[in-house]
Every structure is written in C-alpha cells, then in structure tokens.
Amino acid sequence: APTIVWLRRDLRLSDQAAFAAAAAQGPVMPVYVLDDETPKHRIMGGASRWWLHHSLKSLDTDLRAKGSRLVLRRGKAADILAELAAEHGATEIHALHHYEPWWLNAQKDLRAKLNDNAELVLHHGNYLLPPGTLKTGSGGPYKIYTPFWKSLNERMPPAPAMAPPKALDSPDAWPDSDVLDDWNLLPTKPDWAKGFTDHWTPGEQAAQDSLEAFVDKAVQYDEGRNLPSEQLVSRLSPHLHFGEMSPATIWNRIAGQGAKVETYLKEIVWRDYAQNVIQQFPQYGGESYREKFRAFPWRDISDPKVRKDYDAWCRGQTGYPIVDAGMRELWATGWMHNRVRMITASFLIKHLLIDWREGEKWFWDTLVDADFASNSVNWQWTSGTGVDSNMFVRIMAPLTQSEKFNAGDYIRKWVPELVDVSDPYIHDPEESGAKPPSYRSKIIAHKEARARALDAYAKVK
C-alpha cells in the first residue's frame, strides 16, 4: 500500500521530511487538497492563488521527473485524505506540521477520522525550530522577539538539508486527480496578475536560484535592507511561505559568512517568531492583542468618506509618494519592500486612522507571500496593538522616511506621474512646489493626521 504525503505550504522535494520518510517505506502518493470548505479555514487571497497555481504545476513537473505525480483534490482536507487512505489501504499519511489554527484543527480532525486504521505522522521542517520548543526561564513560551532570537540562535545551525528522494515509487493505482486549470486559481477578467510573471517564477528550482543570487549580497543586507531603490533584499518570502525552500537551507547557505550576515539571519528568525506568536494566540489575525485597543475609536470604513480614504490607500492615490509607490508596487507585483510595508501600514493605521485589520485583509489578498502569522504579527507590531510592538504614539513621518532611505528611484519607478521630479523634491513634491498637476494632493496633511491619531489614542490610554 502507498504512503500518502499530504502537501500544504511545503511544496518541495529537498529537505522535506515527509517525502524523505515516505520514500523510504515504498510507494508514495503525493496529495494536495485545496481546502476552501473547512469551517474557519482562512481562504487564500487572490495573489496567493496565482502563486499556488504555478507552484503546484512546478511541483508536479518535478515529481514526474522522479516517476511520480501530484494528486489534486478539492474539499475538506481531513475528509478527502481519510477517504484516500481507506480506498488505497494506506496506513500512514506523512506531512509537515503547520500551525495556523485551521490546520491544527484539520490535523486533529484527520486523526479522528483515520481512527485506528491509519496514522498521521507530522514532521518538523517549515521552521528553524518547531514553534513552542523554546521556553523562557520561567518555563513559558517567548512573547518578545529579542530573547527569542537569542535563545534560538544558541540552537543553530540547523541539521544539514535532507537530499530530495532520488526516485519515488508509484502506487499500484493512482486515484483520480482534478485538473489544475479547472481550479481557476488564476485571475481572468481583469487579469490583474499579468505583470507578476515579469517578477516571479514560483517553484523549487526558482527558489534555489533566488537564494544563489542573494548569497553574495547578504553581507550588505544590514544597510541595504532599508533602501527600497536598491535590490538588496532576498525576495525569498513567497518561496518560503509556500515551502519551496526550507528555512534551514537558507540558514546553512548564508550563515557561513560571519557576523556581517547576522541581520539577515535575524529576519529569517522573525518568521519563526511570528509563528511562535500565533501558536500562543490563535486569534492574533483577527483581534488586537492589547485589550485597550479593542475599544479604539477607528474611523468606520462603512462611512463613504472613510471608504474613499481606504480606497485611495489601496490604489496608491494618497498624495504621499512613498506610500503610493509601495501600494502600486504591491498591486503590480504581489510584493512590497519591507521598509515600505512598514510605512504604508503605519499610514493606514495612524494617518487614516483605519483599523489595522482592514490593512491586514488587503495585504492578505494582494501579497504573494501572504502569511497568517507574519502578516498579523507585523500589522500588530506597526499598530502598537501586539504582544511585542512599536508604540502607537511612534508615528512614522512618511516623507522623512522617504528621504532618509533614499526612495527617489523607487518612487519614479512606481509613480509615473513623478518620473520627471528629481531628488530631493520627489519626497514631498507638494511642499516643494514640484508637484505636477497629474499627481494628486495629499489626502490629509501630516501634522493634522498626527494630531488626530494622538487624540484618538488619548481616548483609550
């Protein structure tokens, strides 16, 4: 009988413990279930679905090269896997562990459905350490990033990567598989993702290529990571989110370059940290951690005036060049530079006084790397509502940030109305009298926005 490998956000063959274990036992049946049905399952956003389509296609090609294939099914993951196991007499389902609340439920549900007939075997491998492993001096899980990083770093490096299985034996009979194109994961009318292929190649090979392209840049990362006009970040986030590469592979490839690459390793650890937070607080994506913020007087997005501000933010029409460049980069490519994510998020929350959860939802739908843990942890960090957070009263000045991090070329790339505006006027063309008529005026002045945000905060302080 075959061993089933249940794939989720772990779409790779290298350093994939579920594949390694299953391949060692005999025939393997790799299965991906598109689950839009399990209650409370967070439906994947549009940009993620685009990535998923291409990543599944790539994995199927890689599997076929090893004599195998990918079985696609749609529905409740636990039901489908239990049925497949029964039909094919499989007594083991191997998978990598996932910690989103809906996956924890599905894993539990699957175990119940398998009863004593088959076993779900979960392996570690999507994170440097399984979330929840590290404990503070008093025995609890970490809440704050810096001690978390220190403790994790002491346990590094991770074990060397497992090689991909050389070949995968097929089961006697393959079950029916859905046709990927029938899932309609790609947008049609309008095809808002048509530009994505210029920026991304999903799949395991492309993930490895991106890592190789970044290795020599890692020593410049400490300074370079803040400069959106430069190409000095790794752009590995969607590959990591979909598990096309393990974080251990990245650590082992980068860490050998000494102290200069520590800042980069620390960012990879933010990903582990975010997972460690949502494992403790599964509601993190839906509610402010700090209770006082649950009564915060956010402007109500159902009011048409507020909605107009929100739409202006989504479309990159705020009159703040760095904010508009970021939001347009996001729309055009499904990704945004981290420094600019912080600026745009802060702008929505503090300048527009709109609930961080609205921004989190927009990012969820538009990012190719949309990740329940990383997205909610970073939104709550920016809004000051989280477990380890920036303070709400630290209000980022977008125009100053733009100048400080030399965002001129970045703005000219994404905001064509400003292509002829030079530095330093580009950061605040309205103030410097360089604003062309085609570029809109600021939707709110910085000083006014700041005062309004501080007033609102005073009400919950």
Question: Which residues form the interface with ligand FAD (CB under 6 A)?
Answer: 225, 233-237, 240-241, 267-268, 270-271, 274, 338, 341-342, 345, 363, 367, 369-371, 374-375, 378-379, 382
C-beta closer to ligand FAD: residue 25 or 220 = 220
For residues 196 and 368, is the Cβ–Cβ distance under 8 A? Answer: yes
How many other CB atoms are found less than 10 A from the CB of residue 116?
A: 6
Alpha-carbon gap, residue 361 to 364, rounded angstroms: 5
C-beta closer to ligand FAD: residue 134 or 240 = 240
C-beta closer to ligand FAD: residue 327 or 411 = 327
- Minimum distance from residue 338 beta carbon to ligand FAD (Å): 3
- Minimum distance from residue 321 beta carbon to ligand FAD (Å): 19
C-beta closer to ligand FAD: residue 6 or 381 = 381
- Minimum distance from residue 292 beta carbon to ligand FAD (Å): 21
- Minimum distance from residue 277 beta carbon to ligand FAD (Å): 10
- Minimum distance from residue 303 beta carbon to ligand FAD (Å): 24
For residues 345 and 359, is the Cβ–Cβ distance under 8 A? Answer: yes
C-beta closer to ligand FAD: residue 93 or 370 = 370
How many angstroms separate the Cα of 310 from the Cα of each of 316, 317, 442, 456?
Answer: 10, 10, 14, 18
For residues 106 and 234, is the Cβ–Cβ distance under 8 A? Answer: no
Residues whose CB falls within 8 Å of the CB of residue 379, separated by 6 or more in sequence, listed in order: 345, 356, 357, 359, 360, 363
Query: Among residues 402, 401, 394, which one has the least CA distance to residue 453?
Result: 394
- Minimum distance from residue 198 beta carbon to ligand FAD (Å): 17
For residues 46 and 364, is the Cβ–Cβ distance under 8 A? Answer: no
Alpha-carbon gap, residue 382 to 371, rounded angstroms: 16
- Minimum distance from residue 59 beta carbon to ligand FAD (Å): 20
C-beta closer to ligand FAD: residue 38 or 275 = 275
Buried b (16+ CB within 10 A) or exposed e, 442-455: bbbebeebbebbee
- Minimum distance from residue 170 beta carbon to ligand FAD (Å): 34
C-beta closer to ligand FAD: residue 323 or 345 = 345
C-beta closer to ligand FAD: residue 84 or 233 = 233
* 3-class secondary structure, 74: strand
C-beta closer to ligand FAD: residue 347 or 457 = 347
DSSP 92-144: EEEEE---SHHHHHHHHHHHHHHTTT-EEEEE--SSSS-TT--B-TTSSBP-S
Structure token pair of residue 71: 């079985």
- Minimum distance from residue 102 beta carbon to ligand FAD (Å): 16
For residues 38 and 11, is the Cβ–Cβ distance under 8 A? Answer: no
C-alpha 242, offset from chain centre: 9
